[in-house]
Structure 1
Amino acid sequence: MSSSRAEPRSISTQLVLLFTLSAALLLSCSLGILYWVVVRHAFEEDNIVLADKVDALENALQQGGLDALSPEIHETHGSEYAFLVRVLDSSGATIKQTPGMETLLPANVFPPSASREIAAPIEYQKAGHVFALTTRGPVANGQPFTLQVGQNRSSDRRFEKELRTLLALVLGLGVIASALIAVTVARRGLRPLAEMRRSLERVQPGHLSERIEPARWPRELQPLAVSFDAMLGRLEDSFTRLSQFSADLAHELRTPIGNMIGEAQVALTRERNADEYRSVIESTAAECERLSGIIDNLLFLARADSAEQQIQRSQFNGRAALEKITSFYQPLAEERRITITCEGEAEIFADPILFNRAVGNLIDNALRFTPDGGSIRISIRNAENATEISITDTGSGIAPEHLPRVFDRFYRADPSRSSAGTGLGLALVRSIVDLHGGRAMIQSGLGGGTTVTLTFPNQTAAETKQLRLS
């Protein structure tokens, strides 16, 4: 079975349809009310005219007798009789009537009249004509009579039909006009989106500094423009970092590979003894180990960024863990007369292996930049919903302009790269702390040493955060 993807909905089409339907509904209601008011008014006016006519007939009958009714009975409106009048005696026999009335309006179609009050008009249709029929029973000269009056309302029905046609035409033209207006308004209203699209199309890898500038857009689009500008800023920063990362990676890989190639080429220039070949092989193995370390660190960072790195947290004694890590570096520190001290007591909720790796990287970094005879102080304490570990050295410090980027991959404050290391140590530390939901901070100044602080959430805070994320 093949399935076709639904066509995307057009905002412009939806706006036009919504506006047109709203206008059609509003026009329909307005014209419907107008029609009802006009027809209702005409109906009430006809009833008043009919009642007045019956009153006039009754007065004429009472004052002038049957002869006085003749002008009223034969009154015409154009080529038609406006009213058809019949006079019946007490026995129901017809005394006078409008010519042709017997054919159009037989006596038995009129409503009965049991008193002198006018009967409520009823509608009657015949031969394409519409009549309103009523009956009254007046008494003239002591003799009871019955007046049957039919009002010809055919012209009213024609007027109503013409009015309906006119209003339908107005409605149709109004809907068409509304649709045209809606199309114009929608195109004009969505024009800023087209301009925004053109602005975004100008964004290229080499022109990531392009910005949409929220101030020039309508109020409704300004939040979108702000979001786009923020996204472009992040993309520009990421692209810059990626470019720098690529250059740094190439530099880091080129050095050991160049060393291996150079040593191999030198070794092959002439015959050498076993010790010389052994020296070349040992140097090559050392460079390979360095390359392997770089690759391992990069793989760890990649897994951490993609959330593939699994961590197994547990509660353990932080002071004991720090002293164990410190003991590994103690021989090197003693050789250089560097003092390493541990202070404080606190429990740590973290992955022990990753915790050891992060703290070990920081101690290794501190040893590398602390002069002989210096000191490294490691402290641990309980903070609010977390545990803090601080590592302070008495090294040369870091210039303020380098501090924002010291946790970036391959970034080193020494641009000549004459210092040891690959520039991945602090990046690894931050990735490990981020995996635990903590923070890594650094404070330093030239000649004032460096303090790196790691914050690990306690078990309650970590579990609460995990529940929120899930």
Structure 2
Amino acid sequence: MKIGLRILLGYFLIVGVAAWLLMNVFVEQVRPGVRFTMEDMAADTALLLAGVVAADVRDNRYGDGMLARLQAATQRPLDAAIGGVAKQSVGYRIYITDVRGIVRFDSAGKAVGQDYSRWNDVYLTLRGKYGARMTREIPNVEASTVMYVAAPVRDGERIIGSLTVAKPISGVKAFIERSQRKVMEWAALLLGLSLLIGVAMTWRIMGTLRKLMVFVADVQAGRKAVMPKLGSSEISTLGHALEAMRAKLEGKDYVETLMHTLTHELKSPIAAIQATAELLEEDMPPEQRRQFLATIQAQNARQRDLIDKLLALVRVEKQQRIDEAEPVDIASLLQDVAGDFRARLEARELQLEVAVDDTPHVRGDVLLLRQALGNLLDNAIGFAPRGSTVRMAARIQGGRLEVSVADAGPGIPAYAEARLFERFYSLPRPDGAKSTGLGLPFVHEVAALHGGSAGVVNGEGGGCHAALLLPLHTERINNT
């Protein structure tokens, strides 16, 4: 099933179910609502009539006076159209009982003399309560139901009888059916409009998706493809993301920049090796020869270091996630990094202080973290004045674990602050040595893989403060 059809069916299903539930509840409430209204009106009518005929009932005048006029009024024909429904007769039947429950007056003339004392309307009313009942004139036939609502006939405060107003439910059936029919018509119209809106929305979404699918097909086939105009929707964002992924996958800009910079960086050591090798062809004192050989070895080591770090950087840049994150003991990790650089620290007469708070473990790749912290410590050693102290510390900062390396060197010049994490960008060290410029980019990529970040700033008291910020072990790491 195509995505457009799935969207349309899902939308229509949601709207349809919601409309059906709403209309079903509404329709089901129409019938009892009308009945409650009818009962309310019947109760008012019974109460008013009971007050009007109270004197006739007290004087036992059931065949003349007000009751005679009331009976005549109920038999008069009508010619009315109410809500589109024709009405030709009075729907009320009125009967009155004495205090014993014996019917003494019946506007329909069919129950006079009968004992109604056990019917709820009469029984409850004669006892000062609200009396009403619903009775089917024909058993098991819902349409024959008649509503009876009674009110007490009083002589002062004394109850001398009951007056019941009866109204067949069939009299309002036409109104109920008409209301239900209108509700269903509007429900059908609502569903129809919802379907049209759904079709329009799906058509528009599918039109945008089709453009994107054509673009993806062209890219997949290796054809030249221009990103289509997709408006400002989320699909447009997806399209631009695919375009960016395409550029990265093809790697044209990446490879071009990488090869250009790598060639530039390798020119110096290659030229130095070649010039030194040419000089070695001549006769020279052994001491000078040893110096030239040392130069060749140093330049070769520089090339090897450059290539190794570049391969490590490319590998971590291409890595999208940490496949198997494991708990990392930061205290042990810092001690291992310190051990890796013990010889360099001693050679430059530097002291290394390691301070670790009682921090929880983090999760990640131990080897990558060790390499990243090694790069930060290597930079600190290169810029720290001889005989000074380098400090490594780990502490919880702002809900994350901050692992920092600080030195007492010259700090970061203002012109270099924005370029520290650029590939191959490096600052000259106090001893004149030049790094590969790949260490901090590597640290940045490792931090991103762990869901964290890296930063380098000037220290408050001078020197440089480099930090690796990592999420704590309870946080999710890079969607793994």
Q: Which structure would you say has the larger Rg?
A: 1
If the length of structure 2 is used for normalisation, what is the TM-score? 0.48
